[in-house]
Structures are given as structure tokens and as C-alpha cells.
Amino acid sequence: MADEYNIGLGNDDLETRKKAEFDFTSFWNDQAKQLSWFRPWTSTLDWKQPFAQWFVGGLINASYNALDIHQQTKATKPAILWEGENGESKVLTYKDLWIQVQKFANALKSLGVQKGDRITIYLPMVPELPISMLACSRIGATHTVVFSGFSSSSLKDRIDDSKSKIVITADGGYRRGSVVKLKEVVDDAIKDLDFVQNVIVLERTKNKIQLNSRDKLWNDLISESSEECEPEKLDSNHPLYILYTSGTTGKPKGVLHGTGGYLTHLHSTYKWAFDIKDSDIFFCTADIGWVTGHSYVVYGPLLHGATEVMYEGAPDFPDVSRMWDIIQKYKVTIFYTTPTALRMFMKYGDDLPNSFDLSTLRLLGTVGEPINPEVWKWYFKIIGKEKCPIIDTWWQTETGGMMISPLPGLETIPLKPGSATRPIPGVSISVVDEKGNDVAANTKGYLVIRKPWPGMLLTLWNDDEKYKNVYWSKYPNCYYSGDYAIKDEDGYLWLLGRADDVLKVAGHRIGTAELESSIVSHEDIAESAVCGVPDEIKGEKIIAFAVRKESSTKDIPTLRDEIIQKVRSGIGPIATPEQIYFVSKLPKTRSGKIMRRLLKAIASNEKIGDISTLEDGAAVSEVQSAFEELKKSIKKKQF
Ligand code: WTA
């Protein structure tokens, strides 16, 4: 254990872990008491595996806990320091946010929104995004935020699946200096969805848009609405939000989170992990369209009355020093970002960060993918100047909040570059083999969660069966995370990436099945398989293999462009394959399953390994020769 990474912040609460180990239910019971409830619960946990109900009988409201409780003491404290991509800025105090949320909640009510209705939010990173979410939670509507980089067909699937009666969007959003026409995407997505009653349009970029009969302008709506809106007293397990995420099947899954349990998990992890103090300036770079933004841009910081920076644009716009510039400008003390962003910053050398004043930083975090020890060390040395602990936080959309992480707000633990260290108190995690038995130290296995935890998903929206199958069928008594991990001799966990057919590209979850079905939607393509291969910056990049139909006569470059277009309009630009290899057969097992591992080995130029179960040995050499050929042609810059 290296002493050089033994950075503590002076917190050494030994009791918390002990209590959690003694009785995890009564431990979480105590944690939940730190929130404001309208009525206490009668039972801490009702566990009918695999369905958990936390704090049963309790009544609570998320927006009340994020805003109302701070009005006596922190009304004038900045909640959000917003930085636009073009350099403009806005400060919203806790009072400003409270009023705007109530106004917008009343606007939603005036459109007939009721408790339990679903609302899709398709907005860029502007303050109106958290305002919309908090307004929904205030009146008991379930929000479903869709990342504004998703295409109209992805958006349509999500609106349709959740049967949202309102969609909230903007005329446009800024991305790398240009305007993304979000309203047009929404119009296309809902053209056949008659159940969408209204589209609320925020004028962000003032680009020309067409207003249709169901459209309402944000400003018109709030100008008529009152500043007071009583928060609904909601059942602890009332659905707070649905967030769609990729899985191993073609259709994205609607992860459904409740209220009381989820907020308890966030309240606890936010203070333990970030050691949050009233004077801190917190900056999480995640887009709110992903779970990290829901939990640690919106709910976590606001529950604690923290001040945070929210940035609208791309991290490398207008250049790769933008994050350092923001840290210097706002005197950021806690910075939470992704390994992909760090790898990109590191590539540009030390001079850029060294030319900014980063001395206010006191704690650094990462999330979303494994962090390589070299990058961890660079982050520690160059950004943290060897004085900031680094918290590598492992969790998932489904877990709601952090599950494995160092917790400098609670205790000092010697850090090891690349390890997320230990599970948080009150959470029980193991690394197991195929049969579900714990593996020996330093042996690779599957990461499972043995007991329910408060932030866990309630179920998958409208699909309890799928929820059981995806997470609770591989092992009879525990939650299957889909990740590989190792526990070392000191009990430290090392996360090794996905064990299933899910890719992690620049930290974004992309399902292989979703991608393949988008590729085969091209009329010339009979079959397709995709895999992820290591990428220096993005962690993984997408490589696609496609089999053309006999009838296809198009030339390869045209076909490649058209397929890329299909993927971009079917899912979104984040799912664009880096390369597409055209082959006449895909390597499959005798039972017909595509051998993705083999494709991955071929595409990353590794040894192929055991091919004895392949359906047709010829296919391997064929793919191999196609690959060799392609490599040659790449050199000739044909692709
Ligand atoms: C991966 C993001 C290694 C993991 C919060 C998980 C990580 C998936 C880490 C969930 C980490 C997340 N180290 N891998 N610290 N954090 N992952 O749902 O594969 O977008 O299963 O949630 O990200 O991705 P999701």
C-alpha cells in the first residue's frame, strides 16, 4: 500500500461502518432521518426479492428537500453557477431556483399535468433542465430526461415507451459553437404520437422554429403562473424518474427510481464521498442526460444546499483548457469527471493545466469507466498537486448512487491508483464465479450485490419480468451488475469493465444489440455484429462487421457512409462506429451466437484463442483476411 497516496481530510468516523455492518436496515433507517419527511415511515424495508420498498408509509418530496429546506438559511446562497458555452454566465441562488421551480410547476399544472404523469425532458445543459426536473418532482410527475445528443428515433422510443403527455425542449442547444436544432428533432419524434398533448419550448438560441398547435413557449407559460406551488406529499416509493439505459437487448431499458430511498442514498453518499462543506464549490462535468447528472448535478448537491458549477458545452471547447479555466474562474474545490475526459486532457500535456490556478481544488473524483493507473497518477499529481484525494466511484444507472468509493468525508483510506477501494457502508458486494461462489483474492469474477440498498431501482418501467431476468436470474439471491472485478489481498476492488454485451464508449453505455439492429435497418445489410476495442482516449471504440445482401450493388464507401448515417439518426452520434468491415459471414458458435470475443480479438489485432466451437472454421480465416485487407486499405486511406 503506497503511503504517498494516503491523503486524508481529517475525518475518521469509525462508528458509521460498524453500525452498518451490525445491521444494515437500521443503519439506513438512521440515514433517512437526515432528510425532511412530511410523515415518518412505518417500516424501513419491505424486501420481496427482487422488489425493494424503502421507508414504507413515509411521505416525502424531492424538490422540497432540494429547495424549501434551505430557504431559512441559504436563500441568497448561489445554488447554480451556470457557465454558457459561449462564455456567458448566470447565478441562481437557492431562492431564485425555488421560485422558478414553483412557477414552472404551476405552468405544468395549468397544462393538466397530474401526479403520476410522465414528462419527457429533452433539453441542453441550461438551468431550465434542473428546473424542469424539480418542477416535475414537486407535483409528483415522473420525469424522463433524454440526453440531447440522442436522435429523433431514440427520443421517439423513449417518449412512446413512457407515454409522456408533455415534452419539454428548446429551440436549439449550443454544441461546439454550432446550434443543434432540438425542436426539429422533437417534431420528428412525435409526429405519430398523438398522446403527446403539449411541447414546451424554451428559447435558448433564438433560431427560427415552427410553432405547431400543441407547442407552448416556456416564457409565455411562466409569465402567467404564480410563484407558489405547494409540494405534493408523495409516498416514499413514488416514481421520481425513469432513465433509459442500454442493455443487452435491442430495446433500451427504462430504469425506474423511487423517491425516499433514492434521496437517502444520495444524501449519504454525497456527504461521505465529497466531504461537502458550506464553503465548497462543486463541479461535476456530467451531462444531466446521464445518471451521474441526475444524482450528482441535480439531487445530491441540492439536498445539501451546496454551490455548484453547471457547464453548458463541450469540455474541449473552444479548446482543451476549458475545464481548467472554469476551475480557476469559479474557484472550484471539488471536481468530478470521467476517465475519458482525463485521458484527453492528459494527451495535451502538463503545460496547459499548469498555466491555470488550480490551487482551490481539495478533492477529485472520477466515474463511469475504469481509470488506468497512469491517468489516475497524472490526475493526482498535475491536477491535484499531490494534495487532493482521488475518489474513483463505481456505480450504475440502476444503483442510483455510488456503491464503491473511497469516502474522504467519512474516513481516511490509503488509495491505490486504479482501484475504487471498498463498498460504501450499508452495501454488500462480492466477486463471484459462474456458480455464485466467492472467488479467491486476486481472481477475476463477476461483481454482485448481495443485499438491497436504498438507491436501487424499483423495477424496469412496465416490465417486471425483464427486471427479474436481467438482474436477478444469473444468481438466485443477488443482483448481477454485468461487470467484471477483482478483489485484492487487502479487500480493495478493481473494476475491469463489462462482462456482458454492453459497450462503454467515452463513458456512455451503448448496447451491441441496439447498434446492430440500427445497422441492419439499412436495406443492403443482412447481418451485423459490433464489438468494442480498446481506445487510448475513449476507453473503447466501436468496430462493426456487416454482411451485405446478395442483391447489394452499392460501392463500399457509399455503403459505409449510409450505414453511419443510419446509426447517427437511429441512435445518435455517440454510437458511430469507427470502422465498418464488410465480410461475407460472421463467426458464430454452433448454437448460432455471434462470437463477439473473436471479432474483438481480430479487430484489436490480438491472438484469436480457442475457435473450436465456431460454426464454420472458414469464417474465421475469412474475417481474418478481410481484416488484413482492410488494414492494408486503411493505410491507403480508402477508409
Ligand atoms: C462502468 C454510470 C469502472 C461499469 C455511473 C458500470 C465503472 C457502468 C465505474 C454503469 C468505475 C461506472 N470504474 N467502471 N468507477 N463507474 N463504471 O449506468 O461498467 O452509465 O456497470 O452509470 O459503468 O454505467 P452507467
**Of 452, 401, 475, nearest in space to 50 by CA:** 452
* CB distance 275 to 116 below 8 Å: no
CA 17 – CA 427 distance, rounded (Å): 10
Examine the pLDDT at 617 and tell me if it is beyond 70. no
pTM for the full predicted model? 0.94
Q: Give the burial string for 337-367 (b: 16+ CB within 10 Å, else e).
A: bbbbbbbbbbeeeeebbeebebeebbbbbbb
What is the mean pLDDT of the segment spanning 42-65? 98
Confidence of residue 159 (pLDDT cuts 50, 70, 90): very high
Examine the pLDDT at 626 and tell me if it is beyond 90. no
Task: Please report the atom of ligand 1 found closest to the CA of residue 404.
Answer: 15
C-alpha cell at 396: 450504475
Please tell me the predicted confidence (pLDDT) of residue 596. 78
Q: Does residue 399 have its Cβ closer than 6 Å to ligand 1? A: no
Scanning the structure block, which residue is given the C-alpha cell 441492419? Answer: 520
Q: Does residue 420 have its Cβ closer than 6 Å to ligand 1? A: yes
Contacts of 244 (CB under 8 A, 6+ apart): 144, 146, 157, 158, 161, 252, 253, 254, 255
CA 56 – CA 432 distance, rounded (Å): 32
Please tell me the predicted confidence (pLDDT) of residue 461. 98
* CB distance 426 to 402 below 8 Å: no
C-alpha cell at 466: 425483464
Q: Does residue 367 have its Cβ closer than 6 Å to ligand 1? A: yes
> In DSSP terms, which residues pair with 364 in a beta bridge?
335, 390
Question: In this structure, are strands 508-511 and 502-505 parallel, antiparallel, or unpaired?
Answer: antiparallel
* CB distance 626 to 619 below 8 Å: no
CA 304 – CA 266 distance, rounded (Å): 10
What is the mean pLDDT of the segment spanning 111-131? 98
C-alpha cell at 295: 444524482
Scanning the structure block, which residue is given the C-alpha cell 427560427? Answer: 208
Is 91 strand, coil or helix?
strand
Q: How far is the CA of 498 from the centre of ligand 1 (A)?
A: 9
Average pLDDT, the chain: 93
Q: Does residue 397 have its Cβ closer than 6 Å to ligand 1? A: yes
Can you say whether the dihedral through the CA atoms of 173, 175, 177, 182 is positive or negative? negative
H-helix or E-strand spanning residue 161: helix 152-162
Report CA Rg, the chain.
24
Question: In this structure, are strands 525-535 and 539-548 parallel, antiparallel, or unpaired?
Answer: antiparallel
C-alpha cell at 373: 493507473
Count how many residues are written for the chain: 639
Q: How far is the CA of 596 from the centre of ligand 1 (A)?
A: 21
Scanning the structure block, which residue is given the C-alpha cell 455492518? Answer: 21
**Where does residue 84 rank: exposed (0-12), middle (13-18), buried (19+ CB within 10 A)?**
middle
**Of 170, 172, 161, nearest in space to 196 by CA:** 161
Q: How far is the CA of 478 from the centre of ligand 1 (A)?
A: 18
Examine the pLDDT at 588 and tell me if it is beyond 90. no
CA 422 – CA 412 distance, rounded (Å): 12
Confidence of residue 635 (pLDDT cuts 50, 70, 90): very low
Examine the pLDDT at 131 and tell me if it is beyond 90. yes
Scanning the structure block, which residue is given the C-alpha cell 417500516? Answer: 43
CA 481, distance to chain mean position in Å, is: 15
CATH number of 501-635: 3.30.300.30
Nearest CA to ligand 1 atom 6: 396
Q: How far is the CA of 290 from the centre of ligand 1 (A)?
A: 11
C-alpha cell at 536: 487510448
> In DSSP terms, which residues pair with 52 in a beta bridge?
47
Confidence of residue 614 (pLDDT cuts 50, 70, 90): low
CA 32 – CA 177 distance, rounded (Å): 44
What is the mean pLDDT of the segment spanning 150-165? 96
Task: Please report the atom of ligand 1 found closest to the CA of residue 481.
Answer: 21
Q: Does residue 291 have its Cβ closer than 6 Å to ligand 1? A: yes
H-helix or E-strand spanning residue 447: strand 445-449
Please tell me the predicted confidence (pLDDT) of residue 242. 98
- Residue ranges per structural domain of the chain: 501-635
Examine the pLDDT at 246 and tell me if it is beyond 90. no
Please tell me the predicted confidence (pLDDT) of residue 289. 96
> Could you tell me the CA-to-CA distances from 38 to 33, 73, 133, 260, 423 in Å, in that order?
12, 20, 21, 11, 31
C-alpha cell at 377: 497518477
Q: Does residue 483 have its Cβ closer than 6 Å to ligand 1? A: yes
Confidence of residue 609 (pLDDT cuts 50, 70, 90): low
Examine the pLDDT at 622 and tell me if it is beyond 50. yes
Q: How far is the CA of 46 from the centre of ligand 1 (A)?
A: 27
**Of 69, 221, 230, nearest in space to 139 by CA:** 230
The 10s digit of each residue's pLDDT in 447-499 is 999 999 999 999 999 999 999 999 999 998 999 999 999 999 999 999 999 99
**Of 519, 495, 515, 517, nearest in space to 505 by CA:** 515
Is 211 strand, coil or helix?
coil
